[in-house]
Structure 1
Amino acid sequence: MSPRQSLSFPDVRRRLRAAFSASDTPALVVLLVLTAAIVVGGFAAYEWVPTTTLVLPLILGSLWLGPRSLPWFTVAVCVGLCVMLLAPEVNLNGRSAVRTATIFAVALIILFASFRRSRLGVSGPRGESMFVDLRDRISRQGVLPPLPEQWSVEAVVRSAGGTQFAGDFVVARRSVDDRLDVVLVDVSGKGVEAGSRSLFLSGAFNGIVSALPGEEFLPAANTYLMGQDWDEGFATAIHLHLDLGSGDFELRKAGHPPAVWLHAGSGRWTVVSSDGPVLGLIPDADFECVSGRLSAGDALMLFTDGLVETSKRDIALGIDKLAGLGAGMLQRGFEGAAERAVSTIDHTDDDRALIVVHRRW
């Protein structure tokens, strides 16, 4: 249709019908009735029903209506406001002008918010429920599977600013041949900024670790990230592949801080480090494997840099401090040790995560 052609009545009706979602109809009817009642009440008794009362349906509309219906309803409220200003009792002075301008400003803010929501296609509460569902899904993927009695694994993730979305996440899987794979990933960015990438990558990495042998996980994850072509599409990761029967393990990392091995026999700790580039930067990268065996009482600590590195403390000193806390776990026990360690270390402005794998006596 060219710009000069006029819309016929069927075209207008069809567009209006498309604008209003069927799921919004009950709420829209209630809000229109409420708006009409306020307008009529303003005409009958403006002293008791002033124009500012129209803010109520505006706010309710922003909560209940989807992005298709909300702009039309906001326009309808503004029309109702103009009608109310024609009431005989309305005294157009500076005070009433400020009230009217405030209502129009609220309407513009709601319109702007509805245009932003149109990219998602759902109302505010529905969008929030979707994010809550995604958060719960990523949390379930990071739930550690039940293990044999001689093993315990604890994982703690804390986001920057205390939000529910973090750039650090955990992927865990126990195979039918009694092997445990635990992956700790640190996505570029922090807090909510990295939350969307974490939600996306957690599902992908969970599928990769479930489908491929341990030695193929990091190369496959690197290839996957290379294919995303994100501006900040890199991540660090450390992957533990553990035989729950013998205690033999393999550690591989990609640009991630090293693990700490706590030796129960000597009461000492060692840093388990290996070479490997950050995921998503170098194609066909190789990741060095470090092997070992956890004896009875031994433990491994996997962590992200937000737990050990600050602007005032070098990462090596942070690892020493964390390892010292781990050495104390050998005497005090490992129940709740991950939570205690994260709470003890100074808070930073970065996401923090810690996994403690312990082989009981």
Structure 2
Amino acid sequence: MATDVTVLARRRPITVARRFYSYVLTGPRRDWVVFALLFAVAAALVSLMFVYPGRFPPVTIAPLILVAGLYLPNRHLVALFVFVAIGLSLVVPRLSLSASTKAVMLTAYSLLMLMMLVVSASRVRVGSVGFHGEDLLVELRDRLARAARIPALPLGWTAESAVLSAHGEGFSGDFMVVEATHGGRHLEVALVDVSGKGREAGTRSLLLSGALGALLGSLAPSAFLNAANSYLVRQGWEEGFATAVHLDINLDTGDYTIGNAGHPAPVRYSNGTGTWQVLESGRGPVLGIMQGVSFPRSSGTLAMGDALMLYSDGIIESRRHDLTEGTDRMLGAASEAMYRRGSVVDAVVSQARSGEADDRAVFSIARR
């Protein structure tokens, strides 16, 4: 049997440093090493504060408490904090401070250690160390944004979109998945509203956006919502329902089909009449409730100057106003934007009935 010498030549030599790193600084051994180092530092600080209470005040141990909360697992963290608490109970009485000040100081350190225990428990659930949990959330949020990025369109087409979360949070229950299909001749868009708002729906949005992104272009448009519904039903989420609208548009001819799963009806702008029309036909049930349901599709053609707009319920719904008023308000803003040749998406979002209280998403495509 022949051996590929080039592969063997590219292998890195196993140095002493690499052996030390792989044996000591990975896995459970790393936790023990970090715990031992932090415990040694804590013992040194407590000793210095006890011997030199004026030169080494108790505040010098606060950074160690923060670092331990970020890098130690709970069992090691509790042991370290018990030692620190005993040390502070011995050091603080030696300070030349009033009794009330000493009590406040011990209370503050107790609350700090309790807070870091809560942070540690949350970090262990994610499985991250240090600040990597925040990096992971940022990467997930950016992945949602990339899925909604509109590809380059042929000459004569313009499209824009916006997704805003409730109260400016990092995650939104509304998301979009956009994909150029059929060699760039078609554009498919799925605008989805997952149950919940903000961070509560963020993880569900991420999981569902990945699945729907894989379906776009892989199935016939007529089968897209059926597959999405089957996937969502299989997840078995307690609040596993979602509304969605799916658009498939032929960029050569302007022909389009739309499937709707319990979502607010899309609207179409006619350049001939200068008005927006609500497309009520082709509506099916929400996603994730039951298997075996059907999702009829409506169809049409965009002529020169026409436009289509998809949006979420946060654009037209509010607790103090009915749905008709919110729809009229949205269409008025969109009509004015078309007349002024401005951004339809910006105009609609700025006039959203829910304001900051709900997630908002809008997609608009026009043929110029």
TM-score after normalising by structure 1: 0.86
- CA distance in 1 between counterparts of 2:344 and 2:115 reads 48
Unaligned 5+ residue runs, structure 2?
1-23
- CA distance in 1 between counterparts of 2:206 and 2:79 reads 34
> Structure 1 residue 331: deviation in Å?
1.9
**1:306 correspondence with 2:311:** no
- Aligned-residue sequence identity (percent) comes to 37
> Structure 1 residue 53: deviation in Å?
3.3
Cα distance per residue 1:79-107 (max 9 Å; x no partner): 443553686x6789554344234323322
* Residue of structure 2 equivalent to 1:38: 45
Tell me: CA distance 1:136–1:211, structure 2 relative to 1, closer, same or farther (3 Å): same
**1:113 correspondence with 2:119:** yes
**1:139 correspondence with 2:145:** yes
Comparing 97-106 and 157-166, the one that deviates more: 97-106
Q: Confirm or deny: 8 A CA contact 1:54 1:81 kept in the other structure.
A: no
**1:176 correspondence with 2:182:** yes
> Structure 1 residue 49: deviation in Å?
2.2
* Residue of structure 2 equivalent to 1:289: 297
- CA distance in 1 between counterparts of 2:273 and 2:97 reads 87
Q: Confirm or deny: 8 A CA contact 2:159 2:364 kept in the other structure.
A: yes
Which among 85, 91, 95 is matched to residue 84 of structure 1? Answer: 91
Cα distance per residue 1:104-150 (max 9 Å; x no partner): 33223322332233222223521111111111111111111111121
**1:192 correspondence with 2:186:** no
**1:340 correspondence with 2:336:** no
Cα distance per residue 1:42-100 (max 9 Å; x no partner): 1232023233432231123224545565444434433443553686x678955434423
* Residue of structure 2 equivalent to 1:204: 211
Tell me the secondary structure at the aligned position of residue 170 of structure 1: strand
* Residue of structure 1 equivalent to 2:220: 213
- CA distance in 1 between counterparts of 2:167 and 2:130 reads 22
> Structure 1 residue 188: deviation in Å?
0.6
Which among 237, 245, 262 is matched to residue 255 of structure 1? Answer: 262
Q: Confirm or deny: 8 A CA contact 2:242 2:287 kept in the other structure.
A: yes
Which among 227, 230, 243 is matched to residue 223 of structure 1? Answer: 230
Which among 329, 335, 346 is matched to residue 327 of structure 1? Answer: 335
* Residue of structure 2 equivalent to 1:4: none
- CA distance in 1 between counterparts of 2:334 and 2:65 reads 55
**1:103 correspondence with 2:109:** yes
Which among 238, 253, 275 is matched to residue 246 of structure 1? Answer: 253
* Residue of structure 2 equivalent to 1:3: none
- CA distance in 2 between counterparts of 1:179 and 1:36 reads 67
Tell me the secondary structure at the aligned position of residue 212 of structure 1: coil
Tell me the secondary structure at the aligned position of residue 188 of structure 2: strand
* Residue of structure 1 equivalent to 2:326: 318
Which among 278, 284, 291 is matched to residue 276 of structure 1? Answer: 284
- CA distance in 2 between counterparts of 1:22 and 1:77 reads 23
* Residue of structure 1 equivalent to 2:242: 235
Tell me: CA distance 1:166–1:68, structure 2 relative to 1, closer, same or farther (3 Å): farther
Tell me: CA distance 1:90–1:147, structure 2 relative to 1, closer, same or farther (3 Å): same
- CA distance in 2 between counterparts of 1:264 and 1:22 reads 69
Q: Confirm or deny: 8 A CA contact 1:39 1:81 kept in the other structure.
A: yes
Which amino acid in 1 is paired with 2:228?
Answer: A
Unaligned 5+ residue runs, structure 1?
1-16
Q: Confirm or deny: 8 A CA contact 2:329 2:351 kept in the other structure.
A: no
